[in-house]
């Protein structure tokens, strides 16, 4: 998103989830600081992070892609979130600063030290999943199927239209950080309590992380590239990056791509408590997620799915598709540092941002950035694209006591009108996985 070139401070919008640990929002800031103090080659590649800010101002933006076969556009979006299964409703709630964080009632969490989450309620798959399969599926795959089919419909790619197309040229790449955790937990419980003969035959298929992409393809007949990526909270952005490259290499015309997660269950919540990663504001769950705030005490676990339809400009134009935005580029790197803690110098992230800008053909002073388990990047991408199309930035809620060293506009508590020229979404995951993707308004 746009910032002025007259100063070297980056402006940032933070999504309503913190990254890896309690200090993660400051980790992201330090990464931005490292980037704006970096030295770049004339082509935009990172040389070092020791030079002064003026080094960034001097570089020229790399050339953007112009080949319509390689330009990647967004033609559809689908979401399952705590605010419902409608993209507009999802973003309107973000703009109003609504919190989707509530006390858990999906299971008895009364003995847990953390008793709240971004739990999805009143979810319905009616019209998207047949009743027989719906009863068997893990929520992770139910969310994936609904978000994916909604995205296809939004792109005017309903089943009747798909059947007239070359479906070997349409792929699916929906990742998950954890996969079917409820199915896995129930299977282990059945094994321990009743023996192996009581394990459901769906235990393995509905636990493994690739099943979202597989089920969506089975239901729609899409025979192009199909797999999943699992890189913790960075998953969805890894998927966007890989899907775009399939299109750019001519291996697919359309990719159905995003992330899905459903880990609000005893194992998921208990596991993150054991990591000491979660906020413990049980008395004020709606105020628990506090990016950039000095009083933050951890992140809040959530669930949902976010899916985009990515398509070559050439193919979208030929079929007369409505183009929502354009994917400019992306990058992936690794901190190579620690399983859960980020690098203190932010080098892994700053180099990832620099590589993304180079791939996107964007100079550093053009952009304003944001961050948010496996579905986070998918939801963030939709929020970024809605910011592009509406001109409104949603607020970072619960920001009452800003970290003093943060000198960027984090859009605290109240939405802001802003012309968005470039939107960058950052996602960082356990294992040190970093992923950055860039979107822009579509200009023919």
Full pLDDT tens readout for the chain, 444 residues: 332 222 222 223 333 333 334 445 555 555 555 555 554 454 444 444 443 333 333 345 568 889 899 999 999 999 999 998 999 999 999 999 999 999 999 999 999 999 999 999 989 999 999 998 999 999 999 999 999 999 999 999 999 999 999 999 999 999 999 999 999 999 999 999 999 999 999 999 999 999 999 999 999 999 999 999 999 989 999 999 999 999 999 999 999 999 999 999 999 999 999 988 899 999 999 999 888 889 998 889 999 999 999 999 999 999 999 999 999 999 999 988 888 788 888 888 888 988 888 888 887 665 732 223 667 888 999 999 999 999 988 988 988 999 888 888 888 899 999 888 889 888 888 888 989 999 999 998
Where do we find the tokens 């183009």? 323
Model pTM score: 0.86
334: alpha, beta or left, given left = phi > 0 and alpha = psi -120 to 50?
beta
Length of the chain: 444
Q: How far is CA 388 from the centre of its chain?
A: 16
- Count H helices, E strands: the chain? 13, 14
Full DSSP string of 389-420: HH-EEPPBTT-SSB-TT--S---BSS-EE---
Q: Which residues pair with 77 in a beta bridge?
A: 308
Question: Which residues participate in catalysis according to the annotation?
Answer: 233
Where do we find the tokens 């579905």? 375
* Burial annotation 55-71 (CB, 10 A radius, 16+ → b, else e): bbeebebbeebeeeebb
Q: How far is CA 131 from the centre of its chain?
A: 29
- Cβ contact 272:280 at 8 Å: no
Beta strands in 198-314 (DSSP E): 254-261, 304-312
What does the alpha-carbon distance between residue 395 and residue 148 come to, in Å, rounded to a whole number?
A: 27
Residue 255: which of 387, 399, 152 has the closest Cα?
Answer: 152
pLDDT of residue 18: 35
Full DSSP string of 133-202: HHHHS-HHHHHHHHHHHHHHHHTT--HHHHTTS-GGGEEEEEE-SS-SHHHHHHHHHHHHHH-GGGS-TT
Where do we find the tokens 């060293």? 405
Structure tokens at 18: 């913190």
pLDDT of residue 42: 45
């Amino acid at each position: 998103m746009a910032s002025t070139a007259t100063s070297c401070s980056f402006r940032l919008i933070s999504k309503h989830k913190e990254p890896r640990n309690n200090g993660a929002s400051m980790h992201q800031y330090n990464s931005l600081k490292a980037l704006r103090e970096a030295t770049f080659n004339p082509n935009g590649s990172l040389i070092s992070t020791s030079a002064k800010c003026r080094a960034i101002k001097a570089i020229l933006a790399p050339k953007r892609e112009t080949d319509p076969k390689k330009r990647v556009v967004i033609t559809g979006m689908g979401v399952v979130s705590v605010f419902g299964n409608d993209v507009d409703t999802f973003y309107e709630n973000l703009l109003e600063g609504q919190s989707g964080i509530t006390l858990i009632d999906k299971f008895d969490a009364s003995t847990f030290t953390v008793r709240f989450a971004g739990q999805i309620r009143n979810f319905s798959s009616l019209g998207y999943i047949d009743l027989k399969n719906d009863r068997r599926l893990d929520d992770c795959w139910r969310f994936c199927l609904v978000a994916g089919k909604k995205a296809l419909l939004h792109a005017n790619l309903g089943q009747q239209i798909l059947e007239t197309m070359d479906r070997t040229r349409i792929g699916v790449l929906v990742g998950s950080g954890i996969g079917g955790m409820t199915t896995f937990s129930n299977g282990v419980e059945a094994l321990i309590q009743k023996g192996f003969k009581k394990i459901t035959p769906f235990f393995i298929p509905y636990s493994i992380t690739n099943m979202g992409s597989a089920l969506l393809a089975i239901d729609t007949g899409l025979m192009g590239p199909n797999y999943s990526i699992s890189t913790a909270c960075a998953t969805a952005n890894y998927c966007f990056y890989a899907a775009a490259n399939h299109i750019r290499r001519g291996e697919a015309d359309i990719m159905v791509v995003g992330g899905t997660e459903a880990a609000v269950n005893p194992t998921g919540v208990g596991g993150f408590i054991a990591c000491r990663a979660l906020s413990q504001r049980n008395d004020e769950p709606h105020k628990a997620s506090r990016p950039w705030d000095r009083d933050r005490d951890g992140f809040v676990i959530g669930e949902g799915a976010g899916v985009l339809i990515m398509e070559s400009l050439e193919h979208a134009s030929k079929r007369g598709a409505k183009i929502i935005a354009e994917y400019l580029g992306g990058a992936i790197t690794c901190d190579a540092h620690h399983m859960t803690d980020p690098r203190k110098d932010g080098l892994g992230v700053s180099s990832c941002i620099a590589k993304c800008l180079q791939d996107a053909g964007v100079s550093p002073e053009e952009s304003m950035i944001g961050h948010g388990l496996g579905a986070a990047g998918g939801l963030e991408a939709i929020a970024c694209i809605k910011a592009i199309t509406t001109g409104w930035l949603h607020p970072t809620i619960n920001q009452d006591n800003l970290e003093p060293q943060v000198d960027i506009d984090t859009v605290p508590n109240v939405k802001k009108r802003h012309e968005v020229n470039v939107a960058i979404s950052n996602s960082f995951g356990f294992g040190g996985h970093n992923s950055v993707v860039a979107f822009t308004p579509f200009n023919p």
